[in-house]
Amino acid sequence: MKTKLNIKKDDRVLVTTGKEKGKVGKVLKVDPAKGKALVEKVNLIKRHSRPTKGSKGGVVEKEGPLNLSNLMLLCPKCNEPVRAARRPLGEGKSARYCKKCEEFMDS
């Protein structure tokens, strides 16, 4: 059975631990198999690339993966870091909701 994650693409998250603690960004990509996520402008790493026909070589900065356990979801309604839970909607579907303000996060 596939587990449902509480953090999805395009969510705003807060980094809770590590050198990037306190930074807020938008989730670009989630890898549920590895339990990692890429967050915009957070955990930037430098990679050297060779020049090819299509691109110029040089040092490229890109986002590195962060563990999902080090991220906390920001509620769009109350704009605070919250724990999210799921509520059944019927017909076998469920939606995420904020545990602080009890509002649904999924439209």
List own/partner pairs for 84-87 with CB under 8 A and 24 or more apart: 84/6, 85/6, 86/4, 86/6
pLDDT tens digits for 46-101? 999 999 999 999 999 999 999 999 999 999 999 999 999 999 988 888 899 999 99
Same domain for 31 and 45, yes or no, is yes
Which residues constitute the domain of residue 17?
12-74
Residue of 90 and 18 predicted with greater confidence: 18
Both 96 and 49 in a single domain? no
**Residues 61 and 33 reside in one and the same domain:** yes
34: domain CATH number is 2.30.30.30
- What pTM was computed for the model? 0.87
Residue pLDDT, tens place only, 63-76: 999 999 999 999 99
Q: DSSP for 12-47, please give it.
A: EEEE-SSTTTT-EEEEEEEETTTTEEEETTSSEEEE
85 and 56 in a single domain? The answer is: no
Sign of the alpha-carbon torsion through 71, 77, 82, 88: negative
Our count of domains for the chain comes to: 2
User: Does one domain contain both 25 and 69?
Assistant: yes
